[in-house]
Chain A
Amino acid sequence: MTGDHSVVLIPVIFFTAALLVPLCRRGSRRWPYWVALVSSLLGVAASGEALWRTLSTGEAIHYHLAGWRPPMGIELIADPLSAFFCLLITVVTVFVLWHGRSLVESETPGKAVPFYSCVMLLLGGLSGILLTGDLFNLYVFLEISSIAGYALVAIGDKRAPVASFRYLILGTIGASLYLLGVGFLFMTVGSLNMGDIASVLQTRAMSPVEISALLLIVLGIGVKMALFPLHGWLVDAYTHASSTATSLIAPIGTKVAAYVLIRALFYLFDTDLVREGIPVMNALAVMGAVGMLWGGVLAMAQTDLKRMLAFSSVGHVGYIALGIGLASPLGFIAAVLHTLNHSVMKAVLFLICGSLRQKLGDNALDSMNNSLRLRMPWTMAAFTLAAISMIGLPPTAGFFSKWYLVLGSLEQGKWHWVIVIVLSSLFSVVYFFRVLERVYLRPQEGAEEEPAPARDESRPSMLAPVLILSASLLLLGLGNVMIVNHLIRPMLPAGF
């Protein structure tokens, strides 16, 4: 029985949990946390099961909501691509929640119930986006996850409401553009079901209305993905949200938008036309490349660790966009692999931001000095490993997505992208070693009088997820061929 329903279970688990959290607060102070954590674990199990089933049978799992057949009813589809993204976001959520237990209480006292409720709502929305096979339904889930996201960002420091408001405005514009695009498509094709639309669009030339629809969808999702120059909301939102909220939204939020982009460009529209007829792929690649440089340059100029990481996210979204923009199997592999790698890396780094904030009170680079290497040696080791992976040195995960990206660019003779990749890697060397230099080398002020600081590592429940995730960067790196061959290659759209 569960076999048939596991696909729909994923969003249902999260939406149920979102309701359960406020209900169960009468029980104990701890209950909201445990409900959220257990639901995420269930989500991991259901996504894992769906992924395993779709990979082993080689077919997508279709689930018709309430038994209504498409194109009338709404269809949920778990194919390797969507199931993989589901697994990714649920696993990251488990680690973030594990880490955040005490942090949520201490950073946003008294707001644990709305916080966990919003987290569950966000997850429900995101998993819905990933699984749905219906364009309008996707919009609905997009709005659910966005609203949850605005709320999560707003539960932050003093300036968080402003950042959240800006996020809300830009996010709403993005969603509206997307909706407009979907409306255009519905007008000419007469269906909202993705499979239906694809079967119509791929047999005939696209009309100008449909091309406008494509552009509107790309633009709208580009805002959600924080694609340069549509990234204006991201940095403030990431900086001012609470540590746990940032470490949740940063690794998975933009990635789900990237998924929608991949879904639309490679599965919905005629791939050949998108590749050659109109320069949308080139435009994406250019936006990605400029974003890589822009994010890197601004990251170097930041004085706050969280803000620096936020700019670095802008850059790394650019990597994904560049991979998509190459429109080749290698580019596709690079984009999906980098989505995975970057989620894990950013999760580690933002979680460490949380750990540091608990000890130091803030994330200002100025408050970091070499006492940290004695106080929190393990956390700092994890940070170093994640930084090395962000820079992209072998054999960490970050190297390999860049390797595929470089190969993909060279395959098409596009040396300019290679130069951009090299430059952006050099920028990341600079901004990460700025931090590492402080953590390992900068003496404390007045160090002569003070005795050497004692070991003051963060508690095990915060250290363990950080260490596991950062160690997995090595595994992801060394196992990248397995991931590519068994996970990503089955995702490649039929045109490749």
Chain B
Amino acid sequence: MPENWIAHAPFLAVLVSLAATPLILLASRRPNLREFWTLLAAAVKFGLVLSLLPAVRAGGTVEQTLLTLAPGISLGFRVDAFGLYFALIASGLWILTSFYSIGYMRGNSEEKQTRYFASFAVSLSATIGIAFAGNLLTFILFYELLTLATYPLVIHKENREAIRAGRQYLAFALSAGLLLVVGSAWIYAQTGSLEFEAGGMLSGGDHPAGMMRVVFMMFLAGVGVKSGIMPLHSWLPAAMVAPTPVSALLHAVAVVKSGVFGVIRMVGFVFGPEAMGAYGLNLVLAVFAGVTVILASLIAFQQTNLKKRLAYSTVAHLSYVALGAALLTQAGFTGAILHISAHATMKITLFFCAGAIYVHTHKSEIGELDGIGRSMPWTMGAFIIGSLGLAGLPPINGFLSKWFLLQGSLDAGLLAAMGVFLLSGLLNAAYFFPIIMRAFFRPSPAGEKPFGEASPFMVVPLCLTAFLSVALFLFPNLFVNLYDLAGLAVSGITGGEGTP
């Protein structure tokens, strides 16, 4: 029985939230029931993902083939350390987000919530599908599903601006998907297989250099939309019109991380570090990512809306991961993979804080936050932890990933990359500092009484994610062995001995 469970767990984990979608839709008039289905699906999903941990930690993979999608290509899952790592983060944080969203929706009368939670569940399915996909076509299938599932979240407000953002998002994302399809078809024509391979399915072969570069650009554009690499990032800030739980999980964790997950899959499993280096592809990626880090950080300064500032910060941090992968060193990959989880816990904390402030006080502009730290000490305390972590200070897990990223730049001899990371750290500190200063050191507006914390449904999850950010620095293997999984993934990609 237990073995049977494990063999089917990948597909079930994908299916759970998809199966919950009709239930969520049917319960549209009864918010409590609807939230119950979301919570149940989240818990079951996390449990299923967790059940795969022992097998993968032992260095194995769990494979499951459902049917043949096209000749020689199956709809198949192959859970390796990297995929499980991502799935654990996404499904684990979904539980916290579900609790949080109860508090959020009760405190705030958002419209069309059912559509949100339904799209939300489908997006999570697609995310886990992306994490577990065993070959490129399965990956693309879930990637396109994710595009469609997130479209309703982008056009949420249904006003002219939102619809324009939605058009732009679709145009970018669907074109990108097509490029992925064409690139995959080329790879299939070259190698006769689309299975992901640690170390790269194109490495070792003799491929025409010009075509390699063209196909790489296709892939880069393909995964670049969701990972917000400039100039393909503009949908992400526009999508901040969505309710905050959605922004928190999808636009800080699930969707955008699917993008950078795709970047690492592409670098480590499709092209392979060896071929990347040989054809000079890593430099292309590094330039795009490096420019994005700096520019997005600078743009974040200009934002006066809290969520928009967080969004640009997200754009910058996503490119940390891409830049880390482009270093092609063991430490670089480790840093990139660790930054996926580090940024996830820190940024979700910040979004949770922004949402708690908004629901409780209806403040969304940074200029309105004077003195708020005295009324909401827990919320703003968590905010401090998250923002210090993003700036890369210990004892928060953002420091850990940044350490590896810096070491990776040194190993690769790319001092420019190191400069980008250091400068970006300063910029992070600079655009988060004014918020903290206002919250704690400016007096409250005249006549405003202390209003206390938001509902515990919101404060507890955000304290938990802040706690996780610290705990994962002190004990990187806490709870679910994220650190070991990252090490296994890196050793697979580089063929080395694991984390340095």
A-B interaction: yes
Report the 10 A-B pairs with minimum CB-CB distance, sorted nearest first: A394-B141, A481-B68, A410-B189, A406-B185, A393-B144, A422-B178, A429-B174, A441-B158, A407-B185, A395-B141
| A407/B68 in contact, CB under 8 A | no
A190: CB under 8 A from chain B? no
Tell me the complex Cα distance, A478–B70, Å.
Answer: 9
| A426/B189 in contact, CB under 8 A | no
| B178/A478 in contact, CB under 8 A | no
B137: CB under 8 A from chain A? yes
B residues within 8 A CB of A422? 178-179, 182
| B71/A481 in contact, CB under 8 A | yes
B residues within 8 A CB of A485? 71
| B70/A481 in contact, CB under 8 A | yes
B167: CB under 8 A from chain A? yes
| A433/B170 in contact, CB under 8 A | yes
B43: CB under 8 A from chain A? no
A372: CB under 8 A from chain B? no
CB distance from A475 to the nearest CB of B (A): 11
B residues within 8 A CB of A411? 189
CB distance from A407 to the nearest CB of B (A): 5
Tell me the complex Cα distance, A399–B166, Å.
Answer: 23
58-76 of chain B: CB within 8 A of chain A = 67-71, 75
Interface string of A84-97 (1 = CB under 8 A from B): 00000000000000
A residues within 8 A CB of B144? 393-394
B residues within 8 A CB of A437? 163, 166-167
- Listed by A's residue number, 13 A-B pairs whose Cβ atoms lie within 8 Å are A393-B148, A400-B69, A403-B181, A407-B188, A410-B185, A425-B178, A429-B171, A429-B174, A437-B163, A441-B163, A478-B69, A481-B69, A484-B71
Residue in B closest to A402 when the chains form the complex, CB atoms: B181
A391: CB under 8 A from chain B? yes
Tell me the complex Cα distance, A181–B167, Å.
Answer: 49
A200: CB under 8 A from chain B? no
Work out how many contacts link A and B, with CB atoms closer than 8 A. Answer: 66
Most chain B beta carbons < 10 A, residue from A443, A478, A485: A478
B199: CB under 8 A from chain A? no
A residues within 8 A CB of B166? 437
Most chain B beta carbons < 10 A, residue from A393, A422, A485: A393
422-449 of chain B: CB within 8 A of chain A = none
B residues within 8 A CB of A470? none
442-496 of chain A: CB within 8 A of chain B = 443, 478, 480-481, 484-485
| B170/A406 in contact, CB under 8 A | no
Tell me the complex Cα distance, A40–B248, Å.
Answer: 55
A364: CB under 8 A from chain B? no
| A406/B175 in contact, CB under 8 A | no
B267: CB under 8 A from chain A? no
Residue in B closest to A393 when the chains form the complex, CB atoms: B144
- Chain A facing B: main interface SS: helix
Q: How many residues of A contact B (CB 8 A)?
A: 29
| A443/B189 in contact, CB under 8 A | no
A388: CB under 8 A from chain B? yes
B residues within 8 A CB of A391? 174
CB distance from A56 to the nearest CB of B (A): 22
Tell me the complex Cα distance, A37–B140, Å.
Answer: 41
Tell me the complex Cα distance, A402–B166, Å.
Answer: 25
A residues within 8 A CB of B5? none
| A394/B163 in contact, CB under 8 A | no
B451: CB under 8 A from chain A? no
A residues within 8 A CB of B179? 422
Residues of chain B whose beta carbon lies under 8 Å from any beta carbon of chain A: 67-71, 75, 137, 140-141, 144, 148, 155, 158, 163, 166-167, 170-171, 174-175, 177-179, 181-182, 185-186, 188-189
A418: CB under 8 A from chain B? yes
| B174/A395 in contact, CB under 8 A | no
Tell me the complex Cα distance, A404–B68, Å.
Answer: 14
A residues within 8 A CB of B178? 422, 425-426
Tell me the complex Cα distance, A400–B75, Å.
Answer: 13
With known contacts A393-B144, A403-B181, A441-B155, A426–B69 Cβ distance under 8 A: no
Most chain A beta carbons < 10 A, residue from B67, B175, B179, B185: B185
Residue in B closest to A409 when the chains form the complex, CB atoms: B185
Residue in A closest to B187 when the chains form the complex, CB atoms: A410
A residues within 8 A CB of B175? 426
Tell me the complex Cα distance, A429–B178, Å.
Answer: 11
A residues within 8 A CB of B189? 407, 410-411
Tell me the complex Cα distance, A429–B144, Å.
Answer: 13
Tell me the complex Cα distance, A422–B184, Å.
Answer: 13
Given A400-B69, A426-B175; 17 other pairs, CB 8 A cutoff: A388-B148, A395-B141, A404-B70, A406-B182, A407-B188, A407-B189, A410-B186, A411-B189, A418-B182, A433-B167, A437-B163, A437-B166, A441-B163, A480-B69, A481-B69, A484-B71, A485-B71
CB contact between B70 and one of A370, A388, A425, A480 (< 8 Å): that residue: A480
CB distance from B93 to the nearest CB of A (A): 27
B residues within 8 A CB of A425? 178
Residue in A closest to B70 when the chains form the complex, CB atoms: A403
| B182/A393 in contact, CB under 8 A | no
| A393/B177 in contact, CB under 8 A | yes
| B140/A394 in contact, CB under 8 A | yes
Tell me the complex Cα distance, A277–B471, Å.
Answer: 73
| B148/A478 in contact, CB under 8 A | no
CB contact between A403 and one of B170, B177, B185 (< 8 Å): that residue: B185
| A478/B71 in contact, CB under 8 A | no
Most chain B beta carbons < 10 A, residue from A400, A425, A443: A425
Tell me the complex Cα distance, A481–B148, Å.
Answer: 25
| B69/A443 in contact, CB under 8 A | no
A residues within 8 A CB of B167? 433, 437
Tell me the complex Cα distance, A396–B238, Å.
Answer: 29
Residue in B closest to A407 when the chains form the complex, CB atoms: B185
Interface string of A346-373 (1 = CB under 8 A from B): 0000000000000000000000001000
| B181/A406 in contact, CB under 8 A | yes
Residue in A closest to B175 when the chains form the complex, CB atoms: A426
Tell me the complex Cα distance, A342–B75, Å.
Answer: 23
CB distance from A43 to the nearest CB of B (A): 31
CB distance from A243 to the nearest CB of B (A): 28
A residues within 8 A CB of B186? 410
Tell me the complex Cα distance, A480–B74, Å.
Answer: 12
Tell me the complex Cα distance, A406–B185, Å.
Answer: 7
CB distance from A268 to the nearest CB of B (A): 28
A residues within 8 A CB of B158? 370, 441, 443
| A395/B69 in contact, CB under 8 A | yes
Tell me the complex Cα distance, A388–B144, Å.
Answer: 10
CB distance from B166 to the nearest CB of A (A): 8
Residue in B closest to A410 when the chains form the complex, CB atoms: B189
